[in-house]
Copies of this chain bind each other. A is one copy, B any other.
Amino acid sequence: MPLVKQIRRRGGLERLAKQHGLRLTRQRRLIFAILESAKTHLNAKQILEQAQRLEPGIDQVTIYRNLGVLKRLGVVDELDLLHLRGDQHYYEARQVRAHSHVACLACGKVFEFYTSAIKTIDRELEKECGFSVSFTRIEIGGQCAACRKSGREAPLPRKGKQAR
């Protein structure tokens, strides 16, 4: 599974903040820093827990409000990762290169996959429909190589509540 090193827009937060009349509070910087350095996709609760280690008084509303702001600015993306683990939403700092999220339905692992086909779709939409693409989200479900080898199947008719 080829994992390309992540490339991110740097130092854009200050510029964007000034542009939109936003203030760079300690809390806002912290939340953005957590997302930028995250190695996995985090949900709101996990972001809160990480933030509270450095900023014990921080409240969950501050997390939600800032996730909202960062989403609107386009520096953070909200994902559902195919609802594999319930109805959670996950967040990641937006990277320069668009990528797909590939989830194994058998073992639950989520990979990132980079392909030029994403650009192809964007170009087609532009040419065929006159649609100007701002961002693309691709989520793919299936069975990873390891699970195919070991014969591990997706527990298809899954029952009951998924882990929250």
Using a CB–CB cutoff of 8 Å, the interface residues on chain A facing chain B are 1-2, 20, 69, 72-74, 78, 80, 82-83, 87, 89, 100, 102, 104-105, 111, 113, 115, 117-118, 120-122, 124-125, 128-145, 148, 154, 156-158
Contact = CB atoms under 8 A, between A and B. Distances in A.
Nearest to A160: B68
Of listed A74, A138, A158, residue having the most chain B CB within 10 A: A138
A130 B148 contact: yes
Number of copies: 2
B117 A134 contact: no
A140 B121 contact: yes
A17 to B, nearest CB: 11
Contacts of A89: 83, 87
Given A87-B89, A100-B121, A1 B138 contact: no
26 contacts: A1-B131, A2-B128, A74-B156, A80-B80, A104-B131, A105-B134, A111-B131, A113-B124, A113-B125, A115-B121, A117-B124, A120-B120, A121-B140, A125-B140, A129-B144, A130-B148, A131-B142, A131-B144, A132-B148, A133-B140, A133-B141, A134-B142, A136-B138, A136-B139, A138-B139, A139-B139
